[in-house]
């Protein structure tokens, strides 16, 4: 990159989606008006080249898409409507201008999908790896709370779609590289890793449900996310192995229930939602989801606090389910 300020002028949006935006990129800080009856929801995630992605598995465009999508998924888990985002990026000299522009185009594609506006950030140089940090801002109605701490014994545990697909796609990419030839089912799994879809509509459905719920997005695998719900709510969760939903492409590519469950429980980056809801409200919740074209799969039940936060029931055998998803500081 030859000139930081020229680059900022290139990525500065020519227009904006949100009418509440007063001042976007171009001053010391962005300014937008709050909406009466709504609460602001803010999240941030960092992606580091060589840790979260490489050019062997994702194109620059897909890196940008994922960088924003993982934040949109966090907003979805709070039932929020995405509004704005900010980007802080550290760019090494080995990255070409065209690659960086493609990265921002990827973010813009996701932003346009949800009518989000880029309102600021920071651009600096890096010695080796590209580092991108995205902050996303959304809004949710006052009174809506889908916090992890709200699960209670007797609640039904659900997910909003098939899980394990992203991990299977990553395994294919690591084995063959993104320029390899894949069959139809393999290509579907690869794309589900490269371009995950945040479940904003499902989050909004949950936000409008008049029942006690807890919600989490599946970024680190079902085992890890279920454990977070259980620990925060001081309960335990029992999942049923035969209820875990898999995409048809995963069934086609991976022959063996054990490996598919390993992808689902410990793979992560599916960015589906996992949640709990009062048993008496589940049937109406499911009916509303079906009318909205949203998939809901019951996969287990919340129980009293136990020695372990999460258990897996496979036929008549019940065992503790250890969380084995990605952990930055796990040796």
Residue by residue, DSSP assigns 188-210 as HHHHHHHS----HHHHHHHHT-S
What is the 3-state secondary structure of 27-92? ECCCEECCCCCEEEEEEEEEEEECCCECCCCCCHHHHHHHHHHHHHHHHHCCCCEEEEEEEEEEEE
Provide the token pair at 90: 């550290």
Does the annotation flag 122 for ligand binding? Answer: yes
- Residue 265, marked binder: no
Is 3 annotated to bind a ligand? Reply is no
Sign of CA dihedral 273, 278, 283, 289: negative
28 is in an annotated binding site: yes
Give me the sign of the Cα torsion angle 46, 221, 118, 203. negative
Token digits of residue 273: 């939602």
Tell me whether residue 214 is annotated as binding: no
- Residue environment code for 6-36, b if the CB has 16+ CB neighbours within 10 A, otherwise e: ebeeebeeeebebeebeebbeeeebebeeee
* 251 annotated binding-site participant: no
Does 258 belong to an annotated binding site? no
In 3D space, the residue among 144, 197, 191 whose CA is nearest the CA of residue 172 turns out to be 191
Q: Which residues of 247-263 are buried (b: 16+ CB within 10 A; e: fewer)?
A: bebbeebbeeeeebbbb
85 labelled ligand-binding: no
Residue 104 annotated as binding site: yes
Is 217 a known ligand-binding residue?
yes
121 is in an annotated binding site: yes
Q: Determine the Cα–Cα distance for residues 61 and 46; give it in Å rounded to an integer.
A: 16
The annotation status of 269 as a binding-site residue, yes or no, is yes
Block residue for tokens 């429980």: 265
Backbone angles phi, psi at 261, to 5 degrees: -65, -35
Q: How many residues does the chain have?
A: 331
* φ and ψ of 246, to 5 deg: -125, 145
* Residue 242 assigned as binding residue: no
Q: Which residues are annotated as a binding site?
A: 28, 45, 52, 74, 104, 121-122, 148, 217, 219-220, 269, 326
**Sequence ranges of the binding site for substrate:** 52, 269, 326
Residue positions forming the annotated binding site for Mg(2+): 28, 45, 74, 122, 217, 220
Going by the annotation, the residues of the binding site for ATP are 104, 121-122, 148, 219
């Amino acid at each position: 990159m030859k000139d930081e300020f020229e680059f900022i002028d290139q990525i500065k949006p020519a227009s904006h989606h949100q009418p509440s935006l007063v001042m976007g990129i171009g001053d010391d800080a962005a300014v937008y008006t709050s909406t009466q009856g709504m609460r602001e929801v803010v999240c941030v995630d960092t992606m580091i080249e060589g840790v979260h992605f490489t050019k062997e598995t994702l194109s620059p465009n897909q890196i940008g898409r994922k960088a924003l999508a993982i934040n949109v998924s966090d907003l979805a888990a709070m039932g929020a409507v995405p509004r704005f985002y900010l980007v802080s990026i550290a760019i090494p000299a080995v990255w070409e201008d065209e690659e960086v522009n493609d990265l921002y185009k990827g973010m813009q594609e996701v932003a346009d999908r949800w009518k989000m506006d880029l309102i600021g950030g920071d651009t600096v140089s890096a010695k080796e790896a590209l580092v991108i940090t995205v902050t996303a801002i959304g809004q949710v109605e006052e009174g809506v709370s889908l916090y992890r701490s709200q699960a209670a014994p007797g609640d039904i545990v659900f997910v909003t779609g098939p899980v394990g697909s992203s991990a299977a796609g990553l395994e294919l990419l690591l084995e063959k590289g993104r320029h390899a030839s894949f069959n139809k089912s393999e290509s579907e799994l690869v794309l589900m890793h490269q371009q995950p879809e945040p479940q904003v509509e499902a989050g909004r459905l949950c936000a409008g449900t008049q029942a006690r719920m807890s919600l989490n997005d599946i970024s680190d695998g079902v085992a890890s996310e279920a454990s977070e719900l259980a620990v925060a709510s001081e309960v335990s969760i029992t999942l049923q192995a035969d209820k875990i939903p898999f995409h048809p492409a995963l069934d086609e590519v991976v022959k063996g229930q054990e490996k598919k469950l390993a992808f689902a429980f410990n793979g992560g980056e599916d960015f589906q939602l996992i949640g709990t809801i009062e048993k008496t409200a589940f049937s109406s919740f499911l009916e509303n989801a079906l009318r909205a074209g949203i998939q809901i799969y019951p996969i287990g039940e919340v129980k009293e606090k136990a020695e372990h936060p999460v258990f897996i029931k496979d036929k008549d055998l019940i065992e503790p389910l250890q969380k084995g998803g990605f952990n930055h500081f796990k040796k």
